[in-house]
Structure 1
Amino acid sequence: MSDPRPEVPSPLPFVDLAAQFRGMEDELMEAMREVCQSAAFIRGPAVETFERAFAEAHGGGHAVGLASGTDALALAVRVLDIGAGDEVVTVPNTWISTAFAVSYAGAKPVFVDIDPATGQMDAAKLEAVLTPKTKAVIPVHLFGHPAPMDAIMAICEPRGIAVIEDVAQAPLARLNGQTVGTFGALSCFSFYPSKNLGAYGDGGLVFTGDAALAERVRRLAFYGQEAAHHHVEIGFNSRLDTLQAAILLKKLPHLEDWNLRRREAAGQYDQALVKLSPHVVPLARAPGADPVFHLYVVKAARRDELLAHLRANGVLAQVHYPGVVHLQECYSHLGYRAGDFPEAEAAAGQILSLPIFPEITDAQITETARLIADFYGMACP
């Protein structure tokens, strides 16, 4: 008797970058060929063209390409003249680069717990951690879902506290119609290959509506030079190289469509998993939020066992992230203890990221849901 289940290639990768490349191989290869033929590998024309196009995609402003998302965060903190004795607030469930950017400047990372429903910063708890030393807040649009920016801005703006948005996972996500990355003084992007808009290596960018801040970022990123061989401050070497810019320039026009496909895939997961509650519950979407689903995250009972089951059956799910920043050894000097941020700590033991990417098929989503249902001894809807 034939198996009625759909055929699904195995393993199912967490993200299929090769499939994306096949879909636009000719234009990507041509873009890379042009850079190689010109030999303008550093500060070539594609960099400025990409920066301009990226800024236009965010309604205008200033974009500065950098070597990584980590550098983007670090330079954004520095151009606000944050340093020793200052505090910067962020969430403990982010990738550690967000906190490192604060530490690189000599300032102190301070954490605020998350909303357990969405996994985003809990704005209702933000005021309690602000002090006279607080110079900035870094909301993280984690998983591709907007942080509660309206509430955060309402708290920070009257106090003169700068807001730096970490948009690494959420390019072109929106909140109440406004694109994330356009709320704060500066916003930081990552073009790590698996991101919604990914390069073929590391890359990052700072976006701002403030021309002076943009120029300061650009200067710091290029050895602190105001002009050739004229170094007005101690700078860094952090440039988006021309090959990466050329690749990103070809990909950028597809980003809205890729995000739309991610939303469609997330909706398919929602339907496929709806009857598996309370064993598996997708993170909620906040009112007014239009996520871009860099990750499709669920809370799962017996998470580690389920993860092992999926991976044993060829579904390469992951966890983002299994640890919280305030309990990392490198931050033991801050004095935080287990239990200080109970929602973030609980989520770290429950969350599971299922494969999602624009090219994922209905059959792959259906098979992933079936494997989850099988694990819990339930029928897949």
Structure 2
Amino acid sequence: MNRVPFFSLQKVHHDAQRELENAFKRVFESSYYVLGHEVSAFEAEFAQFCNVRHAIGVGNGLDALTLILKGLGVEPGDEVIVPAHTFIASWLAVDQAGAKLVPVEVDPSTFNIDPEAVRARIGTRTKAILAVHLYGRPAPIDELLAIAEPHGVAVIEDAAQAHGAVNRGRRTGGLGLAAAFSFYPTKNLGALGDGGAVTTNDDELARRVRMLRNYGSEQKYVHEISGTNSRLDELQAAFLRVKLAAVDGQNATRRDIATRYAQGLRDCPNLTLPAPVEDGDEHVYHLYVVRSPEREALRAKLESRGISTLVHYPIPCFSQDCYRGAAFSESFDLSKRLADEVLSLPMWPGMSDDMVDQVISAVREACA
């Protein structure tokens, strides 16, 4: 029995090996490794990809979120609304900016932040709403903007899992005031190490984020604000330039795999598949996440059949030890259920047809 890994970069990198090697050679021979031509070129290319004026390369996705919040002037006493069901980086960025977390429940069909839950919690201290495009599905940005704008509140995209996703005909990255991307190797656009970016159409915010990532400086040894060191390096930028050219095609492959899963698994008992996308939207299926009330039994059966799976995410942010002393106003029953029931099936653009068929067959057998 051939195993199907949860994820593999082997084929993706093999197909691009020559271009990646040439990118390495180009940077190596340039003897310029920080904030040079490769970063500037990638920033311009990624800004064009997202249809925005500015892209600023930073150290990772968490830094991207944090620098946006700090660039907006978020400070202690301010509140930031976040989804209860998300990866913890969405919450940690608020902590690092010094603001108060205001978690709200998610939509039961999309798992993205619920606009009505946001409406119930927005207030005079709310500085920003963090809209996570979870698993690659665009969040309901227009609904969130309609709630936020009368209050003067910024809507920020956490697009770490949504490179190239489309909401009502518009790319993620340019839907809110700013967006944060991660280039962790397993992302739809992944580096060969860590990396991240901020995208925005706001000229002043872009200027402040550029300063913040580089010790608060625009001019060498002149520091206007208190910044940090969070710079996308030249080598990762060069690799990302190679891989950016393939993202749209790889996202289309992910959607094809998702369609095959949906067709092959639609009648499995006790298995809830991802909800269909809205007209004008494009899901990029960073993850293909199903729900089962018997998740652990299903996962064990799939493992015995050679199918690797993961859980995104098994412990909710509000249940993590680092938030043990926090007092949240809700119990988040839905997010707790999701933590107990969600299961991610193998999904990557190098999957063969036989692998997809093997996953479908194994899931059907396990659910029978």
Matches within 5 A, 1:104-115: 104-115=96-107
Q: Distance in 2 between matches of 1:27 and 1:223?
A: 33
* In 2, Cα distance between equivalents of 1:39 and 1:61: 29
Choose from 11, 31, 39 the match for 1:39.
Answer: 31
> Bigger CA drift: 22-31 or 281-290?
281-290
What residue identity is the alignment partner of 1:352?
A: L
Q: Which residue of 1 aligns with 2:314?
A: 322
Residue 372 (structure 1) aligned with residue 366 (structure 2)? no
On the 8 A contact 2:52/2:174 being kept in 1, the answer is: no
Q: TM-score, normalised by structure 2?
A: 0.97
Match of 2:241 in 1: 249
- What is the CA deviation profile of residues 151-199 of structure 1, one whole-angstrom value per residue up to 9, with x for unaligned ones? 1111001210011100000011111111122121110000000000000
Conserved 8 A contact 1:93-1:323? no
Match of 1:201 in 2: 193
Where do residues 63-74 of structure 1 align in structure 2 (5 Å cutoff)?
63-74=55-66
Alignment partner of 1:342 out of 333, 352, 356: 333
The C-alpha deviation readout for 1:315-346, integer Å capped at 9, x for no partner, is 21101101111121211232138x61121111
Cα distance in 2 for partners of 1:90, 1:124 equals 13
Aligned residues: 367
Q: Does residue 57 of the first structure (1) align with residue 49 of the second (2)?
A: yes
Aligned partner of 1:138 in structure 2 is: 130
| Counterpart code for 1:295 | L
Among 71, 84, 95, the residue aligned to 1:92: 84
Conserved? CA contact 2:68–2:198, under 8 Å: yes
Q: Which of 332, 343, 361 is the equivalent residue of 2:324?
A: 332
Superposed, which structure 2 residues align to 1:142-157 within 5 Å?
A: 142-157=134-149
1:287 to 278, 281, 284: 278
1:98-123 CA-partner distances (Å, limit 9, x unpaired): 11111111111111101111111111
Give the Cα separation in 2 of the matches to 1:347 and 1:283.
13
Tell me which moved more, 280-289 or 236-245: 280-289
CA distance in 2, matches of 1:231, 1:224: 5
1:311 aligns with 2:303: yes
Corresponding residue for 1:27? Answer: 19
Q: Which residue of 2 aligns with 1:363?
A: 354
Please tell me whether the aligned partners of residues 139 and 166 of structure 1 are also in contact (alpha carbons under 8 angstroms): yes
The amino acid across from 2:341 in the alignment is Q
Provide the C-alpha distance between the structure 1 equivalents of 2:13 and 2:238, rounded to a whole number of angstroms.
Answer: 14
Tell me the CA shift for residue 69 of structure 1.
0.3
Unpaired runs of 5+ in structure 2? none
Conservation of the 8 A alpha-carbon contact between 2:277 and 2:283: no
Which is further off, 321-330 or 339-348? 339-348
CA distance in 2 between counterparts of 1:211 and 1:126 reads 27
CA contact (8 A) 2:9 2:350 kept: no
1:60 to partner: Cα distance:
3.3
Deviations along 1:68-88, whole A, 9 cap, x unmatched? Answer: 001000101100101101100
In the alignment, is the contact (CA less than 8 A) between 1:303 and 1:350 conserved in 2? yes
- Could you tell me which amino acid in structure 1 is paired with residue 159 of structure 2? V
Partner of 2:291: 299
User: Partner of 1:316: helix, strand, or coil?
Assistant: coil
Q: CA deviation at 1:250?
A: 0.6
Which one of 199, 221, 226 corresponds to residue 234 of structure 1?
A: 226
Unaligned runs of 5+ in 1: 1-7
**Corresponding residue for residue 216 of structure 2:** 224
State whether residues 143 and 296 of structure 1, in contact with CA within 8 Å, keep that contact through their aligned partners in structure 2.
yes
Question: How much is the aligned-residue C-alpha RMSD, in angstroms?
Answer: 1.3
Deviates more, 1:34-43 or 1:48-57: 34-43
The 3-state SS of whatever aligns with 2:42 is helix
> How far does residue 375 in structure 1 lie from its aligned partner after superposition?
1.7
Check conservation: 1:220, 1:234, Cα contact below 8 A.
Answer: yes
Cα distance in 2 for residues equivalent to 1:37 and 1:311: 46
DSSP-derived class of the 2:324 partner: helix
8 A contact 1:14–1:356 mirrored in 2:
yes
1:208-219 to 2 correspondences below 5 Å: 208-219=200-211
- How many Å apart are 1:313 and its aligned residue? 2.9
1:296 shift after superposition: 0.4
The residue type paired with residue 332 of structure 2 is: F
Q: What is the alpha-carbon distance in structure 2 between the residues aligned to residue 114 and residue 94 of structure 1?
A: 9
2:250 is matched with 258
Aligned-residue identity in percent = 39
Partner SS for 1:40? coil
Contact 2:52 2:200 in 1 (8 A): no
Shift of 1:256: 0.6
Question: SS at the partner of 2:95?
Answer: helix
1:308 positional shift: 2.1
Q: Which residue in 2 is equivalent to 1:5?
A: none
Which 4+ runs in 1 deviate beyond 2 A? 311-314
Q: Whole-Å Cα distance in 2 between the matches of residues 301 and 342 of structure 1?
A: 14
